[in-house]
């Protein structure tokens, strides 16, 4: 077969933002997990010990949020839920069993991708807002103890939600072959687009 | 800051296995009899002297409270409350504030750093500064608002119940200095017995609600008070009536930890098993060997 036709999916600016976000997010996640459960405390060794991990974590998290905000405004219009998403979600169990044939055709993003996007957006916002309330030593003093006690629970909960979203996000890339190059080289094959995002394929090729 | 051995540790922060505990020492307690305290602050001075701490000179706010609050360098502070329950019957309630050394310490529960907070088998809760990361979780966990984080070194500080003195058979410095015997120290059982004699005496003198403050919500404390008005601890500078570790802290440091870890590791395991059982989604016309980035 002749070399496959390639369709642009992410420009270089978006790719740069994505990978900056990815690195900051993973560093913030590892430094946060170190304090979430004793079994992860060894991760503080990656950051220069417990105190350095405590110092760095909020800066890493805030930086990850800031870069995500840029991605958010670029992609939020592509992630609006539409009627087809409901049908896709209803049939997503079949897709997980490997029966992709019955899935309704989707556009640029399917409902699963949209859910990951919004879980990340809401989760990161909650992490930022709650995290500020107990950011030692800069902001903690401005918040009453009862607010901080609710904030620490929400912070942990949101952290679990965004990490689960990340696991889903990474696994989907491994699962659906040909996806990763969208974010590493910026384009996908036409066959990938037809197979996984037929409406988007129609949109960018004009139906050819 | 501890001279006790690791054998004496019964609880250790952020540690999932039991620490060495072959040896059991007698549970100790400090009993502070508010009804015989004259507010001289000898205990504050003794605390400064033994622990070699000199707080910055602060400013007055019109009461005898000096310094105004606990701090990284002031581990005990006399709280002076002027209370007038009946007209023309002013009561000056003076409470020596500081760490209560809870049997179930909220600070230890909340601390994420292994061994930064320990509880000895004698009941003393101690901060091991070299392991402290300065996160402030102990403040979040404490039902008595006791730990203070230093702005200089970002370490948490509080009363150690003179664990270094107690470890070698001495009483805490504040106990030694008290001129009226309002602060007593001994085994927890002896202190409870002694408190009963004080309460009997107070009741004979008209304080019908006199009681020992040893709150069950935190499993009891190793610093206890004799209160003339045991039914109204709040009058003593807001001593909580029924202190307990906040339910939020209990969720955060209880069920959330194993559930969160289970969910995250479970998601990774489920993804792997899914790939092995169902396999990837591939666009058929593609030469897939080429498009894996």
Confirm whether B235 is domain-assigned. Answer: yes
Domains and CATH numbers, chain A: 6-205 (1.20.950.20)
- Spell out the SS3 assignment of A69-118: HHHHHHHHHHHCCCHHHHHHHHCHHHHHCCCCCCCCCCCCCCHHHHHHHH
Residue B232 and residue B250 share a domain = no
ipTM for the assembly? 0.92
Q: Name the token pair of B60.
A: 């007055």
Per the CB < 8 Å rule, is B267 touching A164? yes
Check if the beta carbon of residue A197 is closer than 8 Å to that of residue A84. Answer: no
Q: How many residues does chain B have?
A: 293
Residue B67 and residue B24 share a domain = yes
Look up residue B151 and give its DSSP letter: T
Look up residue B5 and give its DSSP letter: -
Confirm whether B290 is domain-assigned. Answer: no
- Mean pLDDT across chain B, nearest whole number? 93
CA dist B271 and B277 (Å) reads 10
User: A12: exposed, middle or buried (C-beta count within 10 Å: 0-12, 13-18, 19+)?
Assistant: exposed
Confirm whether B69 is domain-assigned. Answer: yes
Count of C-beta atoms within a 10 Å radius of residue A82: 12
Per-residue confidence (pLDDT) for residue B293, from 0 to 100: 45
Per-residue confidence (pLDDT) for residue B204, from 0 to 100: 97
Least CB–CB distance from B283: residue in A136, A150, A192:
A192
Confirm whether B98 is domain-assigned. Answer: yes
Q: Is B261 on the interface with A (CB under 8 A)?
A: yes
Nearest C-alpha neighbor of B239 from the set B267, B219, B214, B256: B214
Residue B48 and residue B146 share a domain = yes
Residue B250 and residue B239 share a domain = no
Least CB–CB distance from B292: residue in A36, A180, A196:
A180
Q: Chain B residues with CB inside 8 Å of A54's CB?
A: 133-135
Residue B174 and residue B139 share a domain = yes
Distances in Å between the Cα of A145 and the Cα atoms of A122, A204, B72, B157, B195 are 24, 53, 18, 18, 33
Residue B256 and residue B149 share a domain = no
Q: Name the token pair of A167.
A: 């696991």
Least CB–CB distance from B267: residue in A39, A134, A167:
A167
pLDDT for B60 beyond 90: no
Q: Name the token pair of B127.
A: 């901060």
Residues 212-251, chain B: which have Cβ within 8 Å of A? Answer: 246, 248-249, 251
pLDDT for B2 beyond 80: no
Count of C-beta atoms within a 10 Å radius of residue B197: 10
SS3 B100: coil
pLDDT for B288 beyond 50: no
Residue B268 and residue B232 share a domain = no
pLDDT for B289 beyond 80: no
Share of chain B above pLDDT 70, in %: 95
Per-residue confidence (pLDDT) for residue B4, from 0 to 100: 61
pLDDT for B10 beyond 50: yes
Per-residue confidence (pLDDT) for residue B158, from 0 to 100: 98
Per-residue confidence (pLDDT) for residue B21, from 0 to 100: 75
Domain tally for chain B?
2
Confirm whether B284 is domain-assigned. Answer: no
Q: Is B197 on the interface with A (CB under 8 A)?
A: no
Q: Name the token pair of B136.
A: 């402030």
Residue B212 and residue B72 share a domain = yes
pLDDT for B97 beyond 60: yes
SS3 B253: helix
Q: Is A169 a catalytic residue?
A: yes
| β-pair type (B183-187, B211-213) | unpaired
Annotated catalytic residue, options A18, A169, A197, A201: A169
Per the CB < 8 Å rule, is B280 touching A149? no
pLDDT for B292 beyond 50: no
Share of chain A above pLDDT 90, in %: 91
Residue B261 and residue B188 share a domain = no
Q: At A17, which helix (H) or strand (E)?
A: helix A12-36
Per-residue confidence (pLDDT) for residue B100, from 0 to 100: 98
Per the CB < 8 Å rule, is B271 touching A167? yes
SS3 B179: coil
Confirm whether B287 is domain-assigned. Answer: no
Confirm whether B21 is domain-assigned. Answer: yes
Residue B171 and residue B48 share a domain = yes
Residue B239 and residue B250 share a domain = no
Q: Name the token pair of B28.
A: 């100790």
CA dist B215 and B212 (Å) reads 9
Count of C-beta atoms within a 10 Å radius of residue B33: 24
CATH code, domain with B161: 3.30.70.20
Nearest C-alpha neighbor of B132 from the set A136, A30, A173, A186: A136
Residue B134 sits at the vertex; the CA angle it makes with B133 and B136, to the nearest 5 degrees, is: 125
pLDDT in tens, B155-212: 999 999 999 999 889 999 999 999 999 999 999 999 999 999 999 999 999 999 999 9
What DSSP letter does each residue of B180-243 carry, written as one string?
Answer: SS-EEEEEHHHHHHHHHHHHHHHHHTT-TT-EEE--GGGT-BSEEEEESSTT-GGGTTT--SS-
Per the CB < 8 Å rule, is B112 touching A41? yes
**Which residue segment(s) compose the domain that B96 sits in?**
6-245
Per the CB < 8 Å rule, is B282 touching A177? yes
Distances in Å between the Cα of B287 and the Cα atoms of A6, A191, A197, A205, B292 are 13, 10, 18, 21, 10
pLDDT for B139 beyond 60: yes
pLDDT for B290 beyond 90: no
Residues 89-118, chain B: which have Cβ within 8 Å of A? Answer: 112-114
Per-residue confidence (pLDDT) for residue A207, from 0 to 100: 67
Cβ-Cβ contacts under 8 Å for A180 (sequence gap 6 or more): A173, B292, B293
Per the CB < 8 Å rule, is A4 touching B268? no
Per-residue confidence (pLDDT) for residue A4, from 0 to 100: 66
pLDDT for B283 beyond 90: no
Confirm whether B190 is domain-assigned. Answer: yes
* B245 → chain A, closest CA residue: A149
Residue B250 and residue B234 share a domain = no
What are the residues facing B125 on neighbouring strands? B119
Per the CB < 8 Å rule, is A176 touching B280? yes
Check if the beta carbon of residue B184 is closer than 8 Å to that of residue B195. Answer: no
How many angstroms separate the CA of residue A167 from the nearest CA in chain B?
7
Distances in Å between the Cα of B252 and the Cα atoms of A149, A161, A166, B235 are 9, 15, 22, 31
All residue ranges of chain A with pLDDT < 50 are 1-2
pLDDT for B1 beyond 80: no
How many angstroms separate the CA of residue A83 from the nearest CA in chain B?
24
């Amino acid at each position: 077969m002749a070399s496959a036709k390639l369709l642009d999916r992410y420009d270089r600016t978006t790719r740069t933002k994505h990978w900056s976000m990815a690195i900051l997010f993973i560093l913030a996640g590892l430094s946060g997990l170190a304090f979430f459960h004793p079994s992860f405390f060894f991760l503080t060794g990656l950051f220069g010990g417990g105190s350095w991990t405590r110092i760095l974590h909020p800066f890493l998290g805030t930086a990850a949020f800031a870069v995500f905000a840029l991605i958010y405004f670029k992609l939020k219009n592509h992630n609006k839920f539409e009627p087809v998403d409901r049908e896709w979600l209803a049939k997503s169990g079949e897709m997980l069993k490997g029966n992709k044939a019955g899935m309704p055709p989707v556009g640029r993003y399917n409902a699963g991708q949209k859910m990951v996007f919004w879980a990340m957006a809401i989760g990161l916002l909650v992490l930022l807002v709650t995290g500020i309330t107990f950011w030692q030593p800069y902001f903690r003093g401005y918040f009453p103890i009862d607010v901080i006690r609710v904030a620490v629970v929400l912070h942990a909960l949101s952290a679990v939600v965004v990490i689960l979203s990340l696991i889903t996000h990474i696994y989907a890339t491994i699962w659906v072959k040909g996806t990763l190059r969208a974010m590493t080289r910026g384009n996908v094959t036409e066959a990938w687009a037809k197979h996984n995002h037929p409406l988007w394929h129609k949109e960018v090729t004009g139906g050819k | 800051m501890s001279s006790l051995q690791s054998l004496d540790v019964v609880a250790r922060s952020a540690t999932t296995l039991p620490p060495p505990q072959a040896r059991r020492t007698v549970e100790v307690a400090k009993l502070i009899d508010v009804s015989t305290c004259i507010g001289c602050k000898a205990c504050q001075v003794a605390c400064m002297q033994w622990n070699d701490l000199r707080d910055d000179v602060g400013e007055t706010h019109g009461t005898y409270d000096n310094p105004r609050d606990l701090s990284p360098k002031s581990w005990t502070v006399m709280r002076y409350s002027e209370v007038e329950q009946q007209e023309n019957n002013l009561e000056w309630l003076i409470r020596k504030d500081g760490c209560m050394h809870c049997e179930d310490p909220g600070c230890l529960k909340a601390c994420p750093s292994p061994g930064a907070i320990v509880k000895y088998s004698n009941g003393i809760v101690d901060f091991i500064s070299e392991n402290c990361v300065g996160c402030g979780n102990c403040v979040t966990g404490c039902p008595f608002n006791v730990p203070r984080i230093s702005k200089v070194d970002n370490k948490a500080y509080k009363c150690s119940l003179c664990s270094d003195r107690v470890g070698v058979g001495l009483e805490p410095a504040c106990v030694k200095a008290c001129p009226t015997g309002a602060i007593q120290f001994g085994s927890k059982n002896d202190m409870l017995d002694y408190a009963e004699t004080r309460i009997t005496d107070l009741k004979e003198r008209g304080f019908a609600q006199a009681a020992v403050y040893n709150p069950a919500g935190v499993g009891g404390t190793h610093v206890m008070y004799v209160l003339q008005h045991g039914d109204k601890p709040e009058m003593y500078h807001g001593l909580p009536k029924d202190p307990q570790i906040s339910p939020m802290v209990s969720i955060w440091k209880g069920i959330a930890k194993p559930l969160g870890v289970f969910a995250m590791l479970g998601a990774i395991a489920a993804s792997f098993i899914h790939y092995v059982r169902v396999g990837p989604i591939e666009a058929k016309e593609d030469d897939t060997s080429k498009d894996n980035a």
